[in-house]
A and B are shown apart, each in its own frame.
Chain A
């Protein structure tokens, strides 16, 4: 299976702290994307990192990709209560065309 797996499964931090979530996957990928899902709602695309990129920034988000370790991390700096959500990584593989494989997600709680 190519599915990404995030860890930790749950993370609780104080507002203002940084949150780091990790994702591991099993096979070669073309790109990796991070999504956010608020409880019972749809998936919001956060950031895409391609297999030839090592780091990418978007506002308070920083994503790294280590293809040798088949892992990625998502860092949210200066967290806010509104960042409370589940965060998923999704991998698009070299041999899977349009299929995305989602991980189980990290549930982030930011305490005001």
Chain B
């Protein structure tokens, strides 16, 4: 069964450093998402991406964050200057069509980001 994959599984970085989290969505999916989950808290929506542009973003997704689909398979989340409070599990998801309307989002296993 096709699945969303994410790398790395765990990323440790120093405060102020840039990190790039990578995701490979399911191949025939058109919509891509990033979520984060701070330890012990809710899963929070960050951004959705369709047709090579951001379709929606939350208040969390400020200028420190950016997303990119650099090629036909990868979908990346970049945090330009990490803060301690960016420490969280980051989940990538994809869906075949617009998930909020009709379709299921499939999640990757997550990348645990630890900012020291």
Contact = CB atoms under 8 A, between A and B. Distances in A.
Chain B interface residue bracket vs A: 20 to 34
A98 B56 CA distance: 7
Interface residues of A, number: 27
Contacts, number: 76
Contacts of A100: 33, 35, 45, 99-100, 105
Interface of A is mostly: strand
Interface string A89-104: 0101100111111111
Given A42-B110, A45-B104, A92 B99 contact: yes
Contacts of A30: 100-102
25 contacts: A3-B42, A31-B100, A41-B109, A42-B91, A42-B109, A42-B110, A43-B43, A43-B93, A45-B104, A45-B106, A50-B102, A88-B43, A90-B43, A92-B101, A98-B31, A98-B33, A98-B48, A98-B99, A98-B100, A99-B45, A99-B48, A100-B35, A101-B45, A102-B35, A105-B42
Interface of B: 31, 33, 35, 41-45, 48, 50, 55-56, 58, 89, 91, 93, 95, 98-102, 104-110, 112
Interface of A: 3, 30-31, 33, 35, 40-45, 48, 50, 88, 90, 92-93, 96-105
